[in-house]
Amino acid sequence: MRKLLKRIGYIVLVLFILLNIMAAFHAYKFTHFYADVTSIKKPEQMGFGDKVGAIIFGVKYPKSIIADSLKAPHETVQLKTSDSVRLEGWYLSRAKDSVVLDKGTVIMFHGHASSRSGIINEAEAFYLMGYNVLMVDFRAHGNSDGNTSTIGYVESKDVKAAYDFVAAKNERNIVMWGISMGAASIMKAMNDYDLKPEKLILEMPFGSLLDAVKGRVKMMGLPQQPISTLLTFWGGTEQGFWAFGHNPWTYAKKINCPVLLQWGINDTRVTEKETNRILNNLASKEKTLVKYENSKHESLCSNEHEKWVLSVSSFLGK
């Protein structure tokens, strides 16, 4: 019996070590993007060796590519973060339009694995409402430098750089909008820096990085535990921060400007519980939660355009 228990113990230990090795590889691949990768093979396109490699080592994700379909007049701008990362973005100025309706500036931040090209619909909507717009590629995304993402933790420096760029123009009415990781990055920046935007629009921010990982693991049809905990641990360890402390619902306690929080009822990646906890933790006296009945974790502006425009314009007009 003792030998059997000892053998079982060795087997469990070996499996635990192998599981951690696999989690470390997957966490690394998930937080890195590669310019030399153009696409990810679907499972049915993979051979046996490819599938084994994907299961053990994960897959490389391509760096998002910029496609400029913006109709509004705009210029490409370069920003530099406090840790010397070059960011690229588009600046849409109402001064370039024949009818100037400059109400302020909206600074926009996209989600994980996306880029400024992925938020063009929202940008054009803000522009039509009369706002200047700054859309920035996060580090490791689009045309910005780097290939490493921390899912909003270090990206708070990117938010600060964008805010400083607009503030330097003596803009008095700064609004920040973000979706998913973009919203979480805004909240982290509000926690870390003395930013003074007039209003925030946060769409589907995750409550904690652990919950964000759980949502992704669930979407992949895998058991949430212990995979989510291991991925979160290794993702943070590899990037040099305590990932279990990256919690937007905690950052919410330092946000006291008016906030519009938006969430899709069919969102399987960010739960209603996370959303409500963020709402309840916001220090803002003016805070509104709008739920979209026909949307999941996607562009609310594209999927339920009329409701989005009504909700956002009403919030900004207050």
Residue 213 in domain: no
Q: How confident is the model at residue 310 (pLDDT cuts 50, 70, 90)?
A: very high
Average pLDDT of the segment spanning 215-244? 87
* CA of residue 18 relative to chain centroid, distance: 30
What is the per-residue pLDDT for 98? 55
**Pair (283, 143) in one structural domain:** yes
Is residue 44 over pLDDT 60? no
Measured N-to-C along each axis, helices 227-239 and 209-219 cross at an angle, to the nearest 10 degrees, of 130
Residues 279, 227 share a domain: no
Total count of domains within the chain: 2
Q: Which amino acid is at 65?
A: I
Does residue 235 lie in a domain region?
Answer: yes
102-117 pLDDT tens trace: 799 999 999 999 999 9
* Distance (Å, whole) CA 78 – CA 65: 17
The mean pLDDT of 159-186, rounded to a whole number, is: 97
Model confidence pLDDT, tens digit, residues 162-171: 999 999 999 9
Range 29-56 average pLDDT = 68
Residues 159 and 256 in one domain: yes
125 lies in a domain?
Answer: yes
Q: Give me the pLDDT at residue 224, please.
A: 76
Q: Are residues 125 and 232 in the same domain?
A: no
Task: Say whether both 252 and 301 belong to one domain.
Answer: yes
**97 and 230: one domain?**
no
Higher pLDDT, 251 or 216: 251
| Domain harbouring 147, CATH code | 3.40.50.1820
Does residue 45 carry a pLDDT above 70? no
Query: What's the pLDDT score for residue 279?
Result: 98
Summarised one tens digit per residue, pLDDT across range 51-98 is 556 666 677 889 999 999 999 999 999 999 999 999 999 999 987 665
201 and 269 share a domain?
A: yes
Q: Cα(72)–Cα(95) distance, rounded to whole angstroms?
A: 12
* Residue 227 pLDDT class (50, 70, 90 cuts): confident
Distance CA 30, CA 209 (A): 13
Parent domain of 88: 67-208+246-317
Q: Is residue 40 part of a domain?
A: no
Do 125 and 257 have their domain in common?
Answer: yes
Task: Please tell me the distance from the alpha carbon of residue 165 to that of residue 159, in angstroms, as a whole number.
Answer: 10
Residue pLDDT, tens place only, 122-133:
999 999 999 999
Structure tokens at 304: 């339920």
Inter-residue contact 91 to 79 (CB < 8 Å): no
Cα–Cα nearest to 257, from 202, 179, 314: 202
Contact, 155 vs 163, CB < 8 A? no
Instruction: Tell me whether strands 33-34 and 259-264 are parallel, antiparallel or unpaired.
Output: unpaired
**Domain match, 24 and 171 both:** no
33 DSSP β-pair partners: 61
CA distance 58 to 119: 28
Q: In this structure, is residue 250 part of a structural domain?
A: yes
**Residue 39 resides in a domain:** no
Is a pLDDT exceeding 80 seen at residue 40? Answer: no
| Tens-digit pLDDT profile for residues 233-279 | 999 999 999 999 999 999 999 999 999 999 999 999 999 999 999 99
58 shares its domain with 166: no
